Structure formats: structure tokens, C-alpha cells
Amino acid sequence: MSRQPSEVIRLDLPARHSYLHLLSETIAELLRQVGADNETLIYNVQLAAHEVCTNIVSHAYRNRRDGEGRIHITLTLYPQPPRIEIELHDTGETFDPELVPQPNLSEAQIHGYGLFLIRHLMDKVSYTSLPDGNRWHLVKHLS
Amino acid sequence: MEIKPRTVGNVAVLAIEGRFDANTAPPVQHWLEQATATPGARVLVDLTETTFVDSTALATLVSAMKRCQQGKGEFALCGLRRPVLMIFELTRLDKAFNIFVDSEHALAVLNA
């Protein structure tokens, strides 16, 4: 796999729900630039990245005052094979995704879909607990 | 995001335009709590112009549906765009909700 990016965008967002539409718009614009204009593909990448951010706002930064934390996001397009990689870093509380129960899909749940969506909408998802926070790495192939 | 409530016959309808997510869910939740509070309520959420639905929006809709069902009411969705419908299919919520292709079909059934 090529590690030579064709396009890189970095965002440094205040950890507030009200700014997350900027991430969605950036993802859509970035993917359209390379002709990846499939509506469902764009939506799925947008939603997975959005769910990571809502998790950061609601859980990693739950003990911070509103907007005090930040989310550092790097969106990278690679040509071979065509893919988008999204790295998200925060300095909030760490958590263990393995301890988050899977939703019971046989009946409608009120909570628990966020992590499920992240894992199922992307081709690769990894989470790393760091001394200074959390790092997520998402990969979606574009072909 | 903009919400447009209206009443058609016996059905309380809420159309949601734009993003329905963690940032915009509170007014929708507030409207749904009121609309589903009456026993036997018939409620339709029109997602025709909804461009984005996240897990908070799903939670808001599931809560409203369960509240409505507890009151022996009817709760339905309509107009889901393809990517949004695929999220309902992925989470199998398409089996839990009464989903119509558009408001015309939904209102014909809910007002019958």
C-alpha cells in the first residue's frame, strides 16, 4: 500500500457538536475532488468520522467545560490503492472500546449504535489509548 | 436544520430539513415528547429533506417510537434517502419502524 498521499487536510476543531458539520463538509469536498462522488460512500465516511467525534465530545471530554477540548483531525487521500484515511486525536479521558457492548440488533435500542456504525461503515478501524489521550484511525477504500 | 410541524387529520407530522444529529436533536426530541405524550397519538416524522442522521438521531426516534407504542399510538417515518435508509438497514431499525416511501402514503395509512 502506498504511503505517499495525494491530498492532506488537517482540522483542529473545538470539541463541540455544533462544529462537526465542518468535518462532514470537508470529507464530502475531499472525496468529490478525486471523483469519489458516490452519495452512500460519502455519507458512510461522514457518519463514521462524525460518530468518533460525538464519542469524543460526549465521553472523552465529558468532564471538561463545553468546548474546552479540541479534536485534531487529519484526512489523507492515498492513490494506491485509492483510499481515505482519517486520524482523530483528542486529549480527553481514555476508554476501552472492547468494553462497549454490541447493540442487540434483534430489538430497537436507544443507545449503543455509535461504535457499531463506526466499525461497520469503515474498512478498518483502530483505536489507541495514548498517555495524553486517544487516537482513532479509520480507513475506507474508494474502489 | 429546520423543523416544520403540522397536523394532517389525526396525525402530528414533523418534517426535518438538513442535519438531524447530536447538535440538532434537542428541539426534535422536545417536539416528539409532546407529540407522543397523548395516549393513542399518531405521529409521522418526515425525513424527505433530512440530509444526515447520526446515532443520536436514531436514539431520539427509537425513544419516541417506544413512548408512542406504550400509549397504544402509532409512530411512522417516511421519505428516507438511500444513505439514511441504509443506516436503518445496517442497524436493523428498518424492521422496528413503520417506514413509508413518502408522506402521502404514510398519511393515507395513519389517517385510515
Digit-by-digit pLDDT tens for chain A (143 residues) are 667 778 999 999 999 999 999 999 999 999 998 888 899 999 999 999 999 999 999 989 988 876 689 999 999 999 999 999 999 999 999 988 888 888 999 899 888 899 999 999 999 999 999 999 999 999 999 98
Q: What is the predicted pLDDT for the residue at B53?
A: 98
Distance CA B80, CA B58 (A): 13
Name the E strands within A100-142: 124-130, 133-141
| All domains of chain B in start order, with CATH | 2-110 (3.30.750.24)
Distance CA A96, CA A82 (A): 30
What 3-state class would DSSP assign to B90?
helix
Distance CA A136, CA A85 (A): 10
C-alpha distances in Å from residue A106, one per residue of A109, B38, B55, B95, B96: 9, 28, 17, 9, 9
Give me the residues of B, 18-47, that contact A with CB < 8 A.
19, 21-23
Reported ipTM: 0.94
Distance CA B46, CA B29 (A): 14
CB-CB: which of B23, B66, B84 is closest to A20? Answer: B23
Cβ-defined contact of B52 to A43 (cutoff 8 Å): yes
* Helix (H) or strand (E) segment spanning residue A88: strand A83-90
Model-wide pTM > 0.90: yes
* Interface test with chain A among B21, B29, B47, B54, by most A beta carbons within 10 Å: B54
- A108 in B contact zone (CB under 8 Å): yes
CATH class as words, domain A7-141: alpha beta
User: What angle is formed at CA B84 by the lines to CA B72 and CA A58, rounded to 5 degrees?
Assistant: 85
Would you kindly state where each structural domain of chain A is located, as residue ranges?
7-141
Q: Which three cell numbers stand for residue B15?
A: 418534517
Cβ-defined contact of A46 to B52 (cutoff 8 Å): yes
Cβ-defined contact of A17 to B58 (cutoff 8 Å): no
pLDDT digits (tens, 9 = 90+) for A34-59: 888 899 999 999 999 999 999 999 98
CB-CB: which of B23, B52, B59 is closest to A110? Answer: B59
CB-CB: which of B62, B84, B90 is closest to A108? Answer: B62
Q: Which three cell numbers stand for residue B53?
A: 442522521
CB-CB: which of B22, B83, B97 is closest to A17? Answer: B22
